[in-house]
C-alpha cells in the first residue's frame, strides 16, 4: 500500500507536541495506531515502523517525546530517559491518540498503542490510565509492572511480547503481569520468545532476531486488526 508521511504538531494538554505521521495514500477510513519510541528517541527505526504500520492499512503516529533529540550510545540514551518528564510523555501520547481519533479518516474512535522498551512501559501505562485506547501492545516493556489496582483498571486488550533472555525484564515479572490481568478477567496474551534477547525486534541493532521479530510483527498486526474495528 502506498503511503504518505510528514512531521506534524498536535495538541498535548494545552501545548503542542511534534510527531511523525504515516498514513495510506488512498482515501478511506483506517484504524489509528500510536507508535511509542525506545529510549533512543524518534530515530530511523521508529520512523520505519511507523511507515510499516501505514503500509499495512493503519494511520500511524509516533510522538517525539524527546523533542528532536536522538541518542546513538547507551549512555546518551540513559541520560535522555532520566531527563524525560513522564507525566508530559503520557500527555504527549494521549494527545497523539486524541489527534488520530479526531481525523475523519480514522475509524474507530479508539486508537491502539504499541511501544518498545521504554515505550513498552508507556504503552502498558496507557492500557489502564489512557482514554480512547482500543488495543495495547507491549514489546519488552522494562518497568511495566502492573499492580493489582492497575490490572483491574486495564480497559484495552493487552498483548505482551518478550524475549526469554532479556536480562532487564525478569520472566517472573512477565508471568505476574499476565496472572494479574487474567485474574481480573482482562483480554490478554503474553508471548515469550525462546532464545531472544532484549530488543529482538530492532533490526538496526545486534540484538535483532529475525524469527522472533517476524512472528511478533504478525501477532501485532493481527492484534490491532482484531480489536481496532467498528
Share of the chain above pLDDT 90, in %: 94
Domain residue extents for the chain:
3-227
pLDDT band at 32 (very low <50, low <70, confident <90, very high): very high
Q: What is the pLDDT of residues 99-150, one digit of tens each?
A: 999 999 999 999 999 999 999 999 999 999 999 999 999 999 877 789 999 9
At 143 the pLDDT is: 73
- DSSP string covering the chain: --EEEEEEEEEETTEEEEEEEEEESSSS-EEEEEEE--TT-S-HHHHHHHHHHHHTT-EEEEE-TTTT---SSHHHHHHHHHH--HHHHHHHHHHHHHHHHHSTTEEEEEEEEEEETHHHHHHHHHHHH-SSEEEEEEES-TT-PPPHHHHHH--S-EEEEEETT-TTS-HHHHHHHHHHHHHTT--EEEEEETT--TTTT-TTSTT--HHHHHHHHHHHHHHHHHHS--
pLDDT(3) > 90: yes
At 67 the pLDDT is: 95
CATH class, range 3-227: alpha beta
At 144 the pLDDT is: 76
Amino acid at each position: 500500500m502506498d503511503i504518505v508521511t510528514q512531521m506534524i504538531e498536535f495538541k498535548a494538554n494545552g501545548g503542542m507536541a511534534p510527531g511523525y505521521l504515516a498514513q495510506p495514500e488512498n482515501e478511506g477510513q483506517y484504524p489509528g495506531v500510536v507508535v511509542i519510541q525506545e529510549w533512543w528517541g524518534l530515530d530511523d527505526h521508529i520512523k520505519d515502523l511507523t511507515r510499516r504500520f501505514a503500509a499495512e492499512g493503519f494511520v500511524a503516529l509516533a510522538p517525539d517525546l524527546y523533542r528532536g533529540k536522538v541518542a546513538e550510545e547507551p549512555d546518551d540514551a540513559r541520560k535522555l530517559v532520566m531527563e524525560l518528564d513522564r507525566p508530559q510523555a503520557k500527555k504527549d501520547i494521549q494527545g497523539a491518540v486524541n489527534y488520530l481519533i479526531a481525523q475523519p479518516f480514522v475509524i474507530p474512535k479508539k486508537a491502539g498503542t504499541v511501544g518498545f522498551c521504554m515505550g513498552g512501559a508507556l504503552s502498558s501505562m496507557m492500557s489502564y490510565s489512557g482514554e480512547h485506547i482500543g488495543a495495547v501492545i507491549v514489546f519488552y516493556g522494562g518497568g511495566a509492572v502492573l499492580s493489582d489496582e492497575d490490572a483491574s483498571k486495564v480497559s484495552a486488550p493487552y498483548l505482551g511480547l518478550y524475549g526469554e533472555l532479556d536480562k532487564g525484564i525478569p520472566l517472573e515479572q512477565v508471568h505476574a503481569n499476565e496472572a494479574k490481568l487474567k485474574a481480573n478477567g482482562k483480554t490478554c496474551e503474553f508471548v515469550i520468545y525462546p532464545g531472544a534477547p532484549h530488543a529482538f525486534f530492532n533490526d538496526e541493532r545486534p540484538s535483532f532476531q529475525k524469527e522472533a521479530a517476524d512472528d511478533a510483527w504478525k501477532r501485532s498486526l493481527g492484534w490491532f486488526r482484531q480489536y481496532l474495528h467498528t
